[in-house]
Chains A and B, each alone.
Chain A
């Protein structure tokens, strides 16, 4: 077969030929142009064999002129194995079949012929870049093979169009699973376990074995664990008491409200602080004056301002989060490379579009750093805030257990606070990963 005889062909001519064939009839002009770009023309003399059954199925052919005899081998079970191919006929479709690497037919030129050839792999690649149009082409191929070549459906199984957009991108849950499996393969979890054992082992050693004077009043780990896991806790709080969960839920609910309020107000404020010089000059001095004031200093004002204690608690929990979110968002906007903004203007964006398409996504990494800090400081402030509150919450548990000398309960409250805080900040991180796939993939590239 005269393989060396591949010659380039003008795209316009090629498009005209493609449009006259069954599989490519309905394809849009731009996609046709791309298919045209991978096509070649070849001439054959009468008597040439284009391919034999069993040979490698690499290219797809289209007859432009001349005649070619096409004989499917018996194993294909075609109803009419012999076919004479003329202008507009497409053959060599074994190149597109699932699990069929070889030719199923013999093709012999009977009258000098001009044919177009397109590599099957390359064609699939082009079709994959536009999966919807690609599916249409493939289904028309299937129709053609069963109808014109009388090949049973079973054999005419075409290769699937691989949907890159969905199949290749790890998204949402997949990203998380991928990270978990990577994490388990790294030394990280084992180091973490060792670290935790050293910490708890030290606690046991200093308090209960060595009985150091400094820790005389401190409850030992065995006391705390026994109390925590006891169905009948001495001091009234363990995993078996409903009250324990009520405290946790109340605290979580307060932090959630404060966190979402802080995000809803802090992110827009930060975006405008970073975006508008004038707005920053106006607002930032006030912002920076209020920001360093500790939460405890806000307590009296909060009580005076809010009649309901619950509102006061949420306000106090909200404050520090709000400042952290707004400040980080502002820094995020300021961190955006000037080139991105300029590029957007060059490409014809107006100010609103620059804000939506450059400023907001560009500052997301900083915003999520801010949100992680925010959720952390929300728990931090909660303890201070719950000193104000009536009767529920982990901060309240710690505070009242101190005044009523229930020392093991203090530790239970503290550890619970730490664990719940850890989980919420991990949730923010996962949300960030989800919203910033591009960043995750960039980092993954760096790691390779």
Chain B
């Protein structure tokens, strides 16, 4: 699982996304630039519907960009000339509402990627999936279907499913949004634990500032539609972190420092009547 430090550096350069350019011309992302170092946890914070997901979709290859450029380890994913990247297993998304296939067992879900890519045989993929699930403390639910386990467990399985492909980047789209706060805190530590074992770059979208500062090396606070970084904060609390961080003085200071900026954008989003999304 050891990854070299040069894997997974994302550079977002001057990206613009305009929906329906010939008609309503809604600007979702406005000249957004952001550098994410290899192996870094970068948290994207902004009110719901501010255009954060548009950025993620551009990296993942689900949507085109209007102009600008996004590179991964120097390779162009998408640019003005080639507006849509190809989705690939080097950038795996963990979806907001979860996207484990309900018709496959948890084990078959985790084993899915390498089988599809023809990298491992079915038996090999299952074996690897079993050991990865065990490493993540997920033994006992392998032969259940996703619908039979709690939503917290489903999220963890989905992250393991992504890591099975040894991706350069994990793209997480508010994965813990629907979870209660207790489950959420367990999930945070579980995510960090997984991260310390497999150092991948993490691009994590959230609207929860505490979550962002607790997890991230870097926190980018985005403006509400159109979306671009309003403030980029480097969290100088050393990793590995645990829940003790939440009560530390430095954590509180950082929250106070950034709260204002987040609140401002939330109010702006509320006033402009943006819908959830």
Residue positions of A touching B, CB distance < 8 A: 28, 30-31, 33-34, 37, 125-126, 129-130, 164-165, 168-169, 337, 339-340, 342-350, 353, 357-358, 361-362, 364, 436-439, 441-442, 445
Contact = CB atoms under 8 A, between A and B. Distances in A.
Given A28-B127, A168-B143, A343 B93 contact: yes
Contact of A442 (B93, B102, B128): B102
B89 A343 contact: no
Main secondary structure of the interface of A (DSSP, over half): helix
B49 interface: no
B95 A349 contact: no
Interface in B167-218: none
Nearest to B161: A347
Interface string B76-103: 0000000000011101110101110111
B93 A346 contact: yes
B60 A438 contact: no
Output the residue of A30, A348, A361, A445 with the most chain B CB within 10 A. A348
A339 B97 contact: yes
Given A129-B134, A361-B103, A441-B147, A342 B139 contact: no
B116 interface: yes
Given A346-B60, A347-B161, 9 more contacts: A37-B135, A129-B139, A339-B99, A343-B99, A344-B101, A347-B116, A350-B116, A438-B102, A442-B102
* A-B pairs with lowest CB-CB distance, top 10: A442-B147, A30-B131, A347-B113, A348-B117, A343-B99, A339-B99, A348-B89, A345-B87, A361-B103, A34-B134
Main secondary structure of the interface of B (DSSP, over half): loop
B205 to A, nearest CB: 14
A445 to B, nearest CB: 5
A130 B101 contact: no
Contacts of A442: 102, 145, 147-148
Nearest to A33: B131
Contacts of B134: 33-34, 37, 126, 129
B99 A337 contact: yes
B101 A357 contact: yes
Interface of B: 60-62, 87-89, 91-93, 95, 97-99, 101-105, 112-113, 116-117, 127-128, 130-131, 134-135, 139-140, 142-145, 147-148, 161-162, 165
A353 B97 contact: no
A30 B147 contact: no
A346 B89 contact: yes
A438 B139 contact: no
Output the residue of B87, B88, B103, B104 with the most chain A CB within 10 A. B103
B60 A348 contact: no
Contact of A441 (B88, B98, B148): B148
A269 to B, nearest CB: 22
A346 B101 contact: no
Contacts of A347: 89, 92, 112-113, 116-117, 161-162, 165
A169 B142 CA distance: 13
A34 B131 contact: yes
Given A34-B139, A343-B93, A441-B148, A348 B103 contact: no
A280 B139 CA distance: 44
Nearest to A339: B99
